[in-house]
Amino acid sequence: GSKVAYEELDASKLTYSFTKSPLPVPEAGVTSSGNKSICTDHMLVANWNMETGWSAPEIKPYGPFTISPTASVLHYATECFEGMKAYRGYDGKLRLFRPDCNAERLLMSSVRISLPSFPPSEVEKLVKAFMAVDGPKWLPRDRPGSFIYIRPTLIGTHSQLGVAAPAEAMLFIIASYMPQMDAPPGGMRLHTSPADMVRAWAGGFGYAKVGANYGPSLLATSEAKTRGFHQILWLYGEEGLCTEAGASNFFVLWKNKETGRTELVTAPLGDKIILDGVTRRSVLQLVRERCADEIDVVERKYTIDEVLEADAEGRLVESFASGTAYFVCPISLIHHRGKDVNFPMGKKNEGGDLTLKVKNWLKDIMYGREDHPWGYVV
Ligand code: PMP
């Protein structure tokens, strides 16, 4: 028989079927309905099949979809996702922040768990097309400084039990409101991970944004929350390497033990244990560009004992976590095996100088106060 051609994911084939029952936009500041996410009117869906490739992507009314109970994702965690935001600027424009980075990371994650590949530029175009439809209504013009969270997701839909690379998959993109998470009063309090739990390991998949990384982290996080902490600082290995704080990257600003110079230190990407955060990348680049004289930027392995030592020697300057959801969030405390490390939180108790500076630089780009190539106008 004649072989069907394999179709690549192609944003130019996008079709639209608009909702006939548009949903009401919630009042400013309302981010969920009871305990459910509030999503926008539409979702974007494209299906993949190993033989025929990608279907034409479709924007259609938001709603539940049907998958077989034997679908690969439900058994073998063949799922990966992205988290990004669209921002309503102070100039009235809608922007995405470095959407190319998210599209590339989605591809990296997908390949790690045997889901299909695609040109990341097509996913980027689809996110833009989706936001061109739902962005204007769901980020009203009279709410400058607001954002909506976008969740591109890939799942294995192949409905055959058996541990095998799925021959069918689905890409979907939804958008949802989400609370501002970067400002717990008095800063974020971290508890180090329990001695018998590890988030990611060398040779594992901690560097990929796969669902399988998140479910298993919830047990330690819930326990820390009941004890008054916000997130887990995930340590790695016998030596207790600092890796990530919850679902965000972790930074310490301290004085170097030998030179006394101010250093911004964060875990390196090399061991593939941490996620290559888009915010992390942006923070590192901005601090390198804009603080070169005052601050050395260092990506290296460092331990919780080094942080305790710096604390004992009065060398800690400040600490923050970075991520799309957490944005740039000051950290006020780390609890590690009976000891508390306190970080200076600045004059107004809202975060140290660098934390606030970085936060404002990024905000200016996201909300259009600074014209910058990272801010992509939809
Ligand atoms: N680490 C983990 C484990 C995460 O889930 C996230 C959120 N995507 C981050 C770091 C921060 O990444 P980003 O800045 O791209 O949101």
- pLDDT tens digits along 229-239: 999 999 999 99
Q: Supply the mean pLDDT for the chain.
A: 97
Give the pLDDT score at 183. Answer: 82
CB 127 less than 6 A from any atom of ligand 1: no
In a 13 Å sphere around the CA of 137, the CA atoms on its Cβ side amount to 14
Strand stretches in 98-216, DSSP E: 147-156, 168-176, 188-192
pLDDT at 156 exceeding the cut of 90: yes
Q: How confident is the model at residue 121 (pLDDT cuts 50, 70, 90)?
A: very high
Q: Do 268 and 250 contact (CB within 8 A), yes or no?
A: no
Q: What is the tens place of the pLDDT at every residue in 8-34?
A: 999 999 999 999 999 999 999 899 998
- Closest residue to atom 4 of ligand 1, CA basis: 247
pLDDT tens per residue across span 262-313: 999 999 999 999 999 999 999 999 999 999 999 999 999 999 999 999 999 9
Residue at token pair 């930074």: 251
The reported pLDDT for the residue numbered 182 is 83
Taking every pair of Cα atoms in the chain, the longest distance, rounded to a whole number of angstroms, is 75
pTM: 0.97
Q: How far is the CA of 132 from the centre of ligand 1 (A)?
A: 25
Tokens 């079927």 -> residue: 17
- State what percent of residues in the chain have pLDDT above 70: 99
pLDDT tops 80 at residue 2: no
- pLDDT of 355 above 60: yes
Q: Give 16's strand partners.
A: 59
State the helix-helix crossing angle for 278-290 and 353-366, rounded to 10 degrees: 110
pLDDT at 58: 98
Which atom from ligand 1 is nearest to the alpha carbon of 275? 1
| 3-state percent breakdown (helix, strand, coil) of the chain, nearest 5 | 25, 30, 45
Cα of 51 vs centre of ligand 1, distance in Å, is: 33
Residue 179 has pLDDT above 60, yes or no: yes
At 1, the pLDDT band (50, 70, 90 cuts) reads low
99 C-beta closer than 6 A to ligand 1: no
What's the gap in Å between 118 CA and the centre of ligand 1?
A: 22
Q: For residue 282, which atom of ligand 1 is closest to its CA?
A: 14
What is the helix (H) or strand (E) element at residue 125, kind and residue range? helix 120-138
pLDDT band per the 50, 70, 90 thresholds, residue 3: confident
pLDDT over 60 (residue 65): yes
Pick the residue whose CA is nearest to atom 5 on ligand 1: 247
Gap from CA of 233 to ligand 1 centroid (Å): 14
Per-position b or e across 70-81, b if 16+ CB within 10 A of its CB = ebbbbebbbbbb
Q: Which has the closest alpha carbon to 194: 149, 160, 227, 148?
A: 227
pLDDT tier for residue 4 given thresholds of 50, 70 and 90: confident
